[in-house]
Chains A and B, each alone.
Chain A
């Protein structure tokens, strides 16, 4: 098996994602500021403490009360520096936390104490994730139990994985190698064992790896099976608007009008809630007859259903498919 990748700089983490250098740059900017101020203050203290050490017992120091000019200076300068740090952080964060639209989507389900991943082509992995290099990848993540956190230090990013909702994490790996995956949110007994490896592979190697791993079903295929057969969603949701429920074709990414007048965007979270808590958001013009599937579907089945409904077409790209609406 592949060897773990180390940075050539001792005591420094390997850098392997598109935005990792930005995080490092910000880090070194802050290190520079910190060293500057620490040296400044410590040197001044030493100088004063020695230069003005007590000459005679109980003698008083000079009568100095303060200086408005100095106070203003040392309020303004730190404020300005703090603002540059804020802006730097905001820019880096924007790149870390805004997943690009055209990313390859991988589903991640955390549970005490393992990570289950599923590729769009259906391959499943546990505690390991193989990804192609120079490819934008978006993880759509949830958990079956408590909070976890998907953390890849070499990519300089992490995100909490929260029960009851989907959170996302994206990256573009820039260097083939084997990198640590950690759970960074305390999750009970075996928290420190809930790690694994991220394998970044050349694109051809990744294709070969995919081919070598028999895929059972893609998430969308599994979802289709659940939708049509096992859970019977199709009895109400049909390809057109003839059923008792609205058609789900072209739903994803669309703005949905609810009975209470609200408008919401149909994202992963919305679909998930529609399945688990249909009474929470009733679509305008429909009766609240959809039963809840809470307790009947696992997180992985939910993910599959979401993937299937997404595969029925995305609003912006496929206007023709939603003409029936």
Chain B
């Protein structure tokens, strides 16, 4: 194909990275790849900030007393941790970076449908992020990331409105990204790229985008109402002035439960790519995985009440929500079974991305199963608002989203940067993350069943042992997460040059040079193969790939 010529000629090829070096060529770019890189840097910064707060939390909880920080400071720390991680890292993590970079290439398009709107999304994300960061630095917020009323509207003496404004603005970034993806996937597929030839990563993002568009406006309105009540004292949520505090919870979870799927669905998409490609065979049950994403997105809108079983909502509403929560668990189970079955009779290799993918399955399994504990209404009464919930959602959001994100980042790193990372350090860090993660969060399930409430700066002494384990695990996890920052950055300088298709994979993204040219492909590709097609007629040249492997 065309990149044979490229590797054979010695002159430097124009790609999206060397196509202009000025700051303006980045800030005013319309190239989805450059925008993705700027997102990547930004979310890493927010992840770092969120991570520092996490470290502070684990240090405080090393001892039963509230001794390292004042209680009020601790409350701000866990609030900031949640806000940074949820709104500014987890939600944009995969869609805005890997999705932004890869979706157009994977479907054979030159860019997203609305490149300027894509840039606008990034600016909104920055603006929202800066406003929220400003609020945190000015004095911070102490409401928890859930902003429950009437505490947030009437009682809290902190920068609720400013932080809310940042989140509000950031919401539009998400909405626009979702819109952009949907239009792109509908209208910009290359000739031959039918719906059922789309990589599952693209299906997952399609489902995610639906949730972003339908759910985010609700949380935007909710935040607005909080601000209205706080500033103008119009009674919406505070019963003292005629409002209803439970209404807030309905509105908030109507978005925030589906938001869980904004975080996990893209990651599931990454895992489907990794499992199929590193088993070198077609994914098992393609349609079932694709439609299970859509089913999760749709049913995900009907289960918000499972966050409110003890809130005073009606008993019958509780039962219905519990039932629907059980139903929504099924499509996730289907995915896990299909991934496992994909390995059967494959040619499984254990490169770093695959280690992350296998780790993901293990952690997501536990995260999903403990979700059944919490969805079962009678058990939920005991477990809700305890560390069991904290452990559960970290298994889903760190074990799920972060592992998928890291797996995808390693997988596409050669494509995005043109450089190979160190496999050795990649494997080490994948192991450290897996072990550290389990050591941090597994003890929290036990703590939760013992009754340790969440958001506690101080706790009874009999719970200390498990908390020490958790903090120890967090240190291992921390090392595991810092390592990639180091060796990935180093790979930019000392890394080997990445070939166009280092693993000889059939996806379109591997049929253009690494890093890709600004317009992604030199000529519009025509797709004649199925997704994850490893048979002879996928148009790949094994002999050439082997030659490249030797020279690399």
Contact = CB atoms under 8 A, between A and B. Distances in A.
A1 interface: no
A65 interface: yes
Nearest to B530: A65
B17 interface: no
A8 interface: no
B539 to A, nearest CB: 14
Nearest to B327: A82
Contacts of A182: 451, 453
A12 B450 contact: yes
A189 interface: yes
Contacts of A22: 378
19 contacts: A11-B450, A23-B382, A30-B376, A41-B340, A41-B361, A55-B347, A61-B347, A62-B346, A63-B535, A65-B284, A71-B285, A90-B319, A159-B312, A162-B245, A184-B454, A188-B155, A191-B75, A192-B453, A192-B458
Interface in B520-552: 534-535, 542, 545-546, 549
B449 A27 contact: yes
Interface residues of B, number: 98
Interface stretch (B108-116, B162-170, B177-185, B274-282): B274-282
Contacts of A129: none
Given A64-B284, A158-B385, A190 B380 contact: no
Contact of B148 (A59, A82, A186): A186
A193 B286 contact: no
Interface in B140-180: 142-144, 146, 148, 150-151, 154-156
Given A30-B372, A82-B327, A90-B377, A58 B504 contact: yes
Contacts of B459: 192
Given A34-B366, A147-B151, A167-B312, A189 B330 contact: no
A60 B537 CA distance: 12
Interface in A106-125: 112
B272 to A, nearest CB: 13
A33 interface: yes
B373 A27 contact: yes
Interface string A193-215: 10000000000000000000000
A246 interface: no
B322 A86 contact: yes
B348 A53 contact: yes
A286 interface: no
B56 interface: no
B532 to A, nearest CB: 10
Interface in A1-56: 6, 11-13, 22-23, 26-27, 30, 33-34, 37-38, 41-42, 44-45, 48-49, 52-56
B245 A163 contact: yes
A78 B330 contact: yes
Interface in B264-291: 279-282, 284-288
B326 to A, nearest CB: 4
Interface in A140-192: 145-147, 149, 151, 153-154, 156-160, 162-165, 167, 180, 182-192
Contacts, number: 290
B305 to A, nearest CB: 13
B461 to A, nearest CB: 10
Contacts of B483: none
Interface stretch (A91-99, A217-225, A233-241): A91-99
A182 B292 CA distance: 40
A320 B350 CA distance: 82
A163 B386 CA distance: 22
Interface string B336-349: 11101101111111
A70 B341 contact: yes
B378 A66 contact: no
B320 to A, nearest CB: 10
A88 interface: yes
B373 A146 contact: no
A23 B458 contact: no
A89 B377 contact: yes
Contacts of A45: 340, 343, 358, 361-362
A59 B323 CA distance: 46
Chain A CB count within 10 A is highest, among B350, B453, B456, B460, for B453
B239 interface: yes
A231 interface: no
B326 A83 contact: yes
Q: Enumerate the 10 nearest inter-chain pairs by beta-carbon distance, A residue then B residue, closest first.
A: A153-B451, A164-B239, A92-B378, A61-B281, A89-B376, A61-B346, A60-B534, A48-B343, A62-B345, A192-B456
Given A6-B462, A37-B365, A157 B340 contact: no
Interface of A: 6, 11-13, 22-23, 26-27, 30, 33-34, 37-38, 41-42, 44-45, 48-49, 52-67, 70-71, 74-75, 78-79, 82-83, 85-86, 88-98, 112, 145-147, 149, 151, 153-154, 156-160, 162-165, 167, 180, 182-193
Nearest to A169: B310
Given A26-B379, A164-B239, 19 more contacts: A30-B376, A41-B361, A44-B340, A45-B340, A48-B343, A49-B343, A52-B347, A55-B347, A82-B326, A82-B327, A89-B375, A92-B381, A147-B148, A149-B385, A153-B451, A160-B311, A162-B246, A164-B245, A188-B156
Contacts of B350: 49, 53
B63 interface: no
Nearest to A96: B381
A244 B362 CA distance: 70
A30 B545 CA distance: 49
Given A86-B323, A90-B322, A60 B280 contact: yes
Interface in B383-431: 384-386
Given A57-B546, A185-B385, A89 B378 contact: yes
B333 interface: yes
A71 B322 contact: no
B382 A157 contact: yes
A187 B155 CA distance: 9
Nearest to A277: B242
B499 interface: no
Contact of A160 (B156, B312, B362): B312
A57 B280 contact: no
A52 B346 contact: yes
Interface string B434-467: 0000000000001001110111111110100010
A251 B170 CA distance: 53
Chain A CB count within 10 A is highest, among B75, B142, B449, B454, for B449
Contacts of B455: 186, 191-192
B80 to A, nearest CB: 14
B378 A184 contact: no
Given A37-B365, A61-B280, A162-B312, A189 B453 contact: no
